[in-house]
Structure 1
C-alpha cells in the first residue's frame, strides 16, 4: 500500500482505498426524449415495420423467404441502383391495385412471373395463401401509413412539452397503425403523469402492448452494438421499464421476482446487457435464488457481446472484490486482471483503477508502479476519486514523476470533494502543514472532521491534536464550514 509521512507526529498517509461497491443494481439509461428535434429515421423505421409482411396481414406472417425483404439483398440493390428492378417485385404490390396490375392482372410484372416460373420449386413456400381480403387489408394499411403524420406530430408535441397534444397524437398513431413507439411513449406519459394524472396501471397496460406485439425472433431480435450501448428497441425499452417499475415499486407493489423476469425478457429480445442485470440479481439473491454459476454464464455472454460492465464484474468476481463474494468462484488474479484490462480499454473508470492497483501492488503480476501510474492518470482524468487519491501520492513523494506538492494537494482536494475519506484526511494534513499552498488550520480541521465521520481511523486520531491548535476565530470558521446551510439560503 502506498504510504507517505505527512504529519510531524508521524501519522502515515494511506494509499487509495479499494472502491466500495454498493449492492444496488445499476440504472439502465432508457431512451426517451430526443433533445434537439425528432429524428425522422425513427418515424420512417416505425412505418417500415408496420408495413412489413410480418405485420401487414394475417397470412403474410407465415410466408416464406422473399429476396425483396432480405437486408443483404436490398443493400446490394441499393449499391447498384437496382431498387426498381423487376426482381424486386416478387412479394410487392401497389396499394392502388392490390389485386394486380392492369397489364397482367396478376401480382408483379410479366418478367417477374417468367423468372419465378423458371426458378424451380420455392425452397420456403408459403404456409398459407393470401386471399384478396388480406391483400386489400395490407393495401389499406400502406395507404394510411404513407399519408399518416400522427407519429411525427406526436413526437414534435412531446418535445415542445405539449403532453396533452402528444398523448392524443400517440393514441391516434396506435389506433391507426399500431405503432409500438406510440404505445411506449404513452406508457411513459401515464407513468410520469405528463399532461394526465400519473397512473402506473395505465402505463403498464401500454407497455404490455409493446412487449406482447407480434414478434419475429429473427427479424425483430435486437443486435446489441457496444459502440452505441444506449440504442435499444422499443420492445427492449418497454421490458426494462417494466422491470424498473416492479423493482422500485413505483405505483405498484414492489416485486423483485417480476423485475428479474422482465430482465430475462429483455435478454430474450436481444439486449445482452440484461444478462449483467440478471447476473447481479443472481449474485445478490434479488428476485431469485443466489446462483453463482448462472451469474457467471450470464456475465460471460454479456461480456462476449461487448458489455463493459460485465467485463468489470467478471474481474471483481475472480478478484474476490464483491461485497458478497459467492462461493464456488476461485480466486484467479490473472483472469481478473485480464477482465479489468479489457474493461479499462473500453473506458471503464472503475476497471482502470482496479487494473492500476493490481499493477501497483503486484497482484497476479510483477509490481509495475510506472505502468500503474499511467492507468491511475487515466482513471483520475475520468473523475475517479480513488485514482485521484492514489495519483496524488505519486506527486507527493515524487515517485515516477517529479515531486510536486501543489499538484498533489489539488488532486487530494478533487478526490475529497467526491467524498473520498482517505483524500479528505490527506488534504487536511497538507493544509495543516502548509504543504503545496498556504497553511489553513480551519479548513484542515473541517476536512479531518468529515473524514472521521466517514470512518477514517487516522483522521479520528489526529483530530484532537489539530483542534488544540485552532484559535477561537479558526474554530468558528471551521464550525461554519461544517454546519449545513439553512434551507432556502
Structure 2
C-alpha cells in the first residue's frame, strides 16, 4: 500500500441532529401504532390494571373508608373505594400504635366494613362500630341521603356496591385478552362495559387508542380526544394521585399522564385535528403537574424552539434543571449540550461553559445516558473542561458506550487500540471495533476499516471489501475516502473490482 493512503484516525464525533422535538414527544409514551390490514398493531405501552385483589390473607369484601369527601360534596363517589393503601392504616401499624397508646382515640383509625353489610353486623362489629347509622350521619348532622363533606351511610352503601361489583367484574381482563388477540370489536365492547360499570381509567385510555388507530372501528380523533378527556378530567388528588417519578424506571407512568402525553402528541402533529402546538404545551404542563418529571424537558424544548410558546431561555433552563434534579437523564444531557454550544440553533443567552457541560454530561453518563457517556468521554479525550486531556478516563467511558453500540465511541476506542495509546496496541481489536462502527454507518470508521483491510492489518487482506467500504464512506461525506478511492481502484484486479461492484450493488432478490 502506498503512503498516500493512510488511516483517518480521528476520534471524531457527530453533531446532534437537533432537538428531535417531535420524536421526543411521542416515542416513549404515546407512540402511534400502524396496523397492517387484518393484522395486529405495533406494540403499545402496556396499561397495567391496578386495584385491590385478594391475596388469600385479606378479605376482598372489606372496604377502607375515607373520613370525608376531600374533593367535593357533590360526588358520593368521593367516598367510594375510599382510600388506597396507607402505612398509617396498616393493621400492624395500628396495633403497634394501640399498644403504645399512640392513638388519640378510636376515631383516628380508618373505618373498615364489608361490602356485604356496609351498615355493620356481628362479623364486622369491631371494625364498623364507628359507622354512621342508616338514617343519619352523626358527625355532620346530615341525613343518610344528603351528600356532605363527611361521608354518610349512603356513601358507605355506594362504596360497598362499587367494591362488590369490582371484585366480581371481569370486563377489563376480558377486554385486554381480546385486544391482545387482535379481536378489537370485542375488546372495544368489553372496555366500554368496564367504563360503564366502574369508570376504569384504563378502559377509557384503551378506547381512546382504539378510536385513534381505527382498530375494529373507523378512526376518529374526535372520539379519541373525548375518551382521553374522561381520563384527564377525572377528580384528582395532588397528594395521593401524583406520580412519584422513579428515574430508574422512567417509563412507569399512570393512565392520567399517558393520556396527557397522547393529547399533546395529537395536537402537536395535527393528527385528525387542526395542529395546535399551544395545546400540546398545555398538556405537557399537565403531565408535569401529574408528576411526570421528563415533561419538564419537553417544556424546555418548547421554550428553546418556540413551539407552542415564546422562545425564552430562562424558563427552559429552569425546567431542565428541575427535571435533571429529579433524575431525568435527558434533561442533564441537554444541559450539557446547551453549555457546550452543541445545538444547531444555539439559543442566545447561554454562555459557553465547558466545566458545566462536562459536569452535566458526567452526571447523565453516571445515570446511564448513552449519548452523554460518549460526550463525557470525548471532553476528557480532548481536555475540554479539564486541565489536560485524560485518555485513561476517556477510554473507560468510550468502552462503556462502545459496548452499548455507540458507533462514534467504537470508532474512538478503535483508534486507541490501533495506535497503542493508553492501551496495548492490538490490530485485531481495532479492526473489530472499526467494523462494528462501520456497520452502524460511521463514515470515519468505514474509511479506517477500509485502510486496515487494504493493508491486511488485524486480519486477512481484502481489497474488494476495502474499496466497497471506502466508497460508502465517500458517499457519506468523508474527504479522506474521496482522496483514497481512486488509489484503491487502481490496485484492484478485475475479479476484485467485480466483487466490490457486487457488494455495492447487490443483485435483486428473486421473488
**TM-score, normalization by structure 1:** 0.84
RMSD: 3.6
Residue 14 of structure 2: which of 8, 12, 19 is its match? 19
Tell me whether 1:250 sits opposite 2:271 in the alignment. yes
Residue 487 of structure 2: which of 459, 462, 465 is its match? 465
Question: In the alignment, which residue of structure 1 is the partner of 2:35?
Answer: none
Tell me whether 1:383 sits opposite 2:438 in the alignment. no
Question: In the alignment, which residue of structure 2 is the partner of 1:230?
Answer: 251
* Count of aligned pairs between the two proteins: 465
Contact 1:247 1:259 in 2 (8 A): yes
Contact 1:191 1:199 in 2 (8 A): yes
Measure the CA separation in 2 of the matches of 1:169 and 1:82. 45
Question: In the alignment, which residue of structure 1 is the partner of 2:357?
Answer: 336
CA positional deviation for 1:325: 1.3
Contact 1:392 1:408 in 2 (8 A): yes
Measure the CA separation in 1 of the matches of 2:2 and 2:359. 38
SS at match of 1:486: coil
CA positional deviation for 1:414: 0.5
Contact 1:99 1:106 in 2 (8 A): no
1:88-487 matches, cutoff 5 A? 90-99=110-119, 101=121, 108-109=128-129, 128-365=149-386, 366-483=388-505, 486=508
Unaligned runs of 5+ in 2: 32-40, 54-59, 134-146
CA positional deviation for 1:405: 0.9
Unaligned runs of 5+ in 1: 1-5, 114-125
Comparing 202-211 with 389-398, greater Cα deviation is found at 202-211
1:69–1:457 CA distance, 2 compared to 1 (3 A): closer
Question: In the alignment, which residue of structure 2 is the partner of 1:29?
Answer: 28
1:51–1:471 CA distance, 2 compared to 1 (3 A): farther
1:306–1:459 CA distance, 2 compared to 1 (3 A): same
Residue 88 of structure 2: which of 50, 67, 73 is its match? 73
Q: Which has the higher helix share?
A: 1
CA positional deviation for 1:328: 0.8
1:53-64 matches, cutoff 5 A? 58=74
CA positional deviation for 1:142: 2.3
1:309–1:255 CA distance, 2 compared to 1 (3 A): same
Question: In the alignment, which residue of structure 2 is the partner of 1:42?
Answer: 50
CA positional deviation for 1:31: 7.9
User: For residues 262-283 of structure 1, what are the alpha-carbon distances to aligned partners after superposition, in whole Å with 9 as ceiling and x for unaligned?
Assistant: 2111111110001111112222
SS at match of 1:275: helix
Question: In the alignment, which residue of structure 2 is the partner of 1:3?
Answer: none
Comparing 405-414 with 257-266, greater Cα deviation is found at 257-266
